[in-house]
Chain A
Amino acid sequence: MKAPWTIRDLVDFDYFLYRDEEADGEELRQRDRAFYTGLEDLPDERSTLFHRWVRFRGEAEDATPGEAFAECFSILKIAFPLAGCLSGAALAIGLLHYRGTVAVNVSSYVGVLVVLQLLLLLALLATLLYRRRTLGSGIPTAYPLLSRAVFRGSARIWRGSLRKLGGSQAGKLQSGLGELRLKNALYGRVIYQQVFQLAQAFGVLFNLGALGMTLLRVTTGDLAFGWQSTVFSPETVHRIGRSLALPWRWLWGEGVGYPSLEQVAGSKMILKEGMQDLATSDLRSWLLFLCLCLAVYGFLPRLALWIYAACRQARSLRCLSFTHAAGERLYRRMTTPMLESAGTSPDGDPHTFPLPDASPTPHPPSPGSPGNSTLLLVPEELAGELEADPLVRMVEQRIGRSVSRTCWYTAGRQGLENLDMEPHETVTLYQEAWQPPIRETLTFIKQLRQRLAPETALVILLNGRARPGESFAPLRDIDRSTWTQVTRQLADPYLDIAEAVTP
């Protein structure tokens, strides 16, 4: 059974991965391998495995960001519904203002509490449909059309500002933005659903507040409901009321669930004539209708949306595959055995030499887990400099996947079009790290990604400047940081960077 992930766990997971980025690779391997081998029952699912890892890491911490998030969120979970309830009740008080001279205007009550909510609901449904069509593109917001327009406008200003900055500053800014987009691509849906659920909780309690206050005012006071119109006749108003009562008129018919034509005509107010001539029974005939309107068009849809959001969020959390680059690295650390060769120093103390690379142990593949082979892409111009066998051996060692085939591609548009690749095939792109990541290279990587299925791993294997007679070399620090920063701008969670030689 899959582990029950929560947003708190995700926050912690992300935090631990972030901390591991700066840590020593060998120590990480030892720690995560020890955790993995120490598990009594190996879970089938990667998400369950990672969930246990988060708990394991959390045990060593006094406080985690996930706990802080959970605490803050628990306050929001109370504050939002409370604010909804109070605002609903306050609005109802305002609308039900009655001093015996002018009856409560049914049109205002229905207009504000029912029609307005219905319009918002329709806008939300349209948004949800739109999102379903354009899923995965852009930042999820409640009103994508508006936000898209805002983003386009701000993008122009943003680009203008970037041009004024030097390359390194602009790069850092874009890298930061890329990091945000990357998180959005990974967890955006879960976070969005959480916020959406919170907004629906507000809506549910808003309606409950308004309904409760209406019933309270009716129970504890004297209220009269009427309507005014210079244009509409009682027949029209009756027809509108009858239409609105469609969902319940099978249960509560005319005169109960909605006012009859006579009651409608009897509750029409003409201000210069006052209320003296209007029958009290007619003035009270709107009460149940108004309450049912609020319950059916306000409360129930919001409740349904709240339940929908809760279900969707649970599903999204269940469907997290954790096959993104950072997840892959963690998974490989866990499943790759630590090979050590022991020797004895002259003073007699045994010492061990951990070997940096080894193939991962076979592990039951989890759903969504990519296959264990990769397509290797190498620029054609390097064919004379790199020997195929050592290259393949190096890639298999460094990536932990077997190379299914090697493609020597030519630079330029034609080169990409000529590539023969499957959408679900993991791709390793060989790249000389000393070549600065120019726009053209990034465009090539983006186009490569577009030809792959969204969650397929794409690894950029960086090689340093090798000395004559050698093929592979470690990276310079500046090259490593440049490539890390630039690839972050791509905001691709399934894009990873590997190095040909251990630093």
Chain B
Amino acid sequence: MSAVLKFAVVGHPNEGKSSVVSTLAEDDTVPVSAFPGETVRCASYPVKIDGEEIIDFIDTPGFQNPVQMKEWMQAHGEDGEALMQAFIAAHKDQPDYHHDVELLRPIAEGAGIIYIVDGSRPVRAPDRAEMEILRDTGRTRMAIINSKEADAAHLDEWKLAFSQHFNAYRVFNAHHASYRERIDLLESLKGVNPDWQPVMERVIETYKHDWQMRTEHAADILAELLDKNMTCQQEKRVASQREARELQPKMLEAFRAKLSKNERRAHRRIRKLFKHTLFKTALDEAGILQEDLFSKQTWHLLGLERNQLVAASAIAGAASGLGMDALMAGSSLGLWAAGGAAIGAASAFFGGERAAHSIGKSRFGIGRLLGGSKVQVGPVHNPQFYFILLDRGLLYVDSIIHWAHGRRSEGVLLSSESGEKKGYVSGFSEEARRCCSQHMKALRKGNRQELEARRAAVQAMLVEVIQACSRR
């Protein structure tokens, strides 16, 4: 078993050390606060592979007396580990130096240094003192410019300072870092010290495999949601037709609640898959995903454009017509297919953008049974519903993989004044839309073999979409 690679994440207070640790370790339980000095003692966030601890990111308190520390160290005249040990021994009982001693401990014990700075502010005397102290420790060190604000006016100033004191540096936004940027950061760490290379390679490889697994799993969850919600139906026995009519509003409400619940459950599974616990409270409350599945806003912003929907529905309609052509052994010369396509297209044109509240209504039926009636709601045949479900799912995945674990602020509300669609599916290729339409049709027909094949195709397409999204 190899030794654990330790990284002390150090820096000035309130520069985002905890955010960086939280993002790198994919742990959103790391306490992060806008108030400086929230971290008062070192906290360990290990990365494990098959239960074996490989890397340990150590979140440390911020420097409290950098200039005085530098003066003390310069007067002391030693270097490296001896200097750190001497400083710790001399100051361990001084309350004013508690944070400084605490942050030096892991470095004195051999941890590599990741120095965090906020690149949106200028370099000041305490920063220079901190960099000199870290240089004098003699440990391998890398600087991360965590640009908390979009302002990059001082980036060059920082880069110049780092070039004098650090083995490497990298710009990394702990609040918006994607999977790709996390991998890139680990790649940079790998290059800083040749001794770290084997371990870092193993970690990066495992990260990549793990990400691929998560991507496939997320696509599977979304495909399963589509299956579930597009075939969902509810039935109830009633004594009379009058009772059935009275029951209609309640049944519709319950049906929609069921569809929403299925969607929420799928989103929760995705959230867990990407190791987020705070995400719901942080983003859902502000974004389009907070909107109800059946809200006007959702149907306005998501799903396919009308012309796209017409084409997709035509394919789906033709698919059903082809079945009738097959039954007539081709003697109908494909008329059924053409007719089905025309009906599907027409219904999409006139009804595809039908208001969300009509969901389920068109599929409300009352059948006569012996001794009473049967009321049935669903399944939904509106093709736009399929695309909206898919769009919301993909948006959720997109948000969650771009929501760094170190981020604690609110999401951005998706809005459209021009009436343009803002989701994913309106940007799908024709092939992808066809793939979806065929899946939708297979769901309607209920042929298990065909459904499995179509589902696999949709899932593969979704994996590609999520991968493209991860690379962004």
Contacts and interface: CB of A to CB of B under 8 A. Distances in A.
Contact of A413 (B36, B68, B122): B68
Interface string A156-194: 000100011111101100000000000000000000000
Contacts of B122: 385
B6 interface: no
Nearest to B69: A440
Interface in A432-470: 432, 434-440, 443, 465, 468
Q: How large is the interface on A (under 10, 10 to 19, 20 to 34, 35 or more residues)?
A: 20 to 34
B125 A478 contact: no
Contact of B67 (A164, A412, A468): A412
A482 B13 CA distance: 12
Main secondary structure of the interface of B (DSSP, over half): loop
A412 B36 contact: no
Contacts, number: 85
B298 to A, nearest CB: 34
Given A163-B41, A166-B40, A440-B65, A411 B125 contact: yes
B147 to A, nearest CB: 13
Interface string A424-435: 000000001011
B18 to A, nearest CB: 11
Interface in B116-133: 120-122, 124-126, 129
Contact of B38 (A166, A412, A468, A478): A166
B36 A437 contact: yes
A254 B158 CA distance: 94
Contact of B124 (A171, A435, A439, A465): A435
Nearest to A156: B95
B199 to A, nearest CB: 32
Nearest to B61: A167
A157 B41 CA distance: 17
Nearest to A432: B124
A163 B35 contact: no
A381 interface: yes
Nearest to B129: A411
A163 B62 contact: no
Given A166-B40, A443-B96, A436 B125 contact: no
Contacts of B121: 434, 465
A212 B99 CA distance: 64
B382 interface: no
Given A171-B35, A440-B64, A440-B66, A159 B95 contact: yes
B472 to A, nearest CB: 30
B328 interface: no
B65 A438 contact: yes
Interface string B5-38: 0000000111000000000000000010111111
B40 A439 contact: no
Interface in B97-154: 97-99, 120-122, 124-126, 129, 153
Nearest to A439: B64
A381 B126 CA distance: 11
A379 interface: yes
Nearest to A438: B64
B205 interface: no
A243 B324 CA distance: 132
A438 B125 contact: no
Interface in A377-436: 379, 381, 385, 410-413, 432, 434-436
Nearest to B153: A468
A163 B40 contact: yes
B380 to A, nearest CB: 48
A440 B33 contact: no
Contact of A167 (B35, B67, B153): B35
B39 interface: yes
Contact of A439 (B12, B65, B125): B65
Contact of B36 (A164, A167, A410, A468): A167
A168 B66 contact: no
Contacts of A478: 34-35
B464 interface: no
B36 A436 contact: yes
Contacts of B291: none
A166 B38 CA distance: 5
B40 A436 contact: no
B235 interface: no
B40 A170 contact: yes
Interface in B227-255: none
Contacts of A437: 36
B364 interface: no
Contacts of B68: 412-413, 440, 443
A439 B33 contact: no
17 contacts: A163-B41, A167-B40, A170-B37, A379-B125, A381-B124, A412-B68, A413-B71, A435-B126, A436-B36, A436-B37, A438-B36, A438-B62, A438-B63, A438-B126, A439-B64, A439-B65, A443-B65
Interface of B: 12-14, 31, 33-41, 62-68, 71, 95-99, 120-122, 124-126, 129, 153
A-B pairs with the 10 shortest C-beta distances? A167-B37, A436-B36, A439-B64, A168-B35, A411-B125, A167-B38, A440-B65, A436-B13, A412-B67, A436-B14
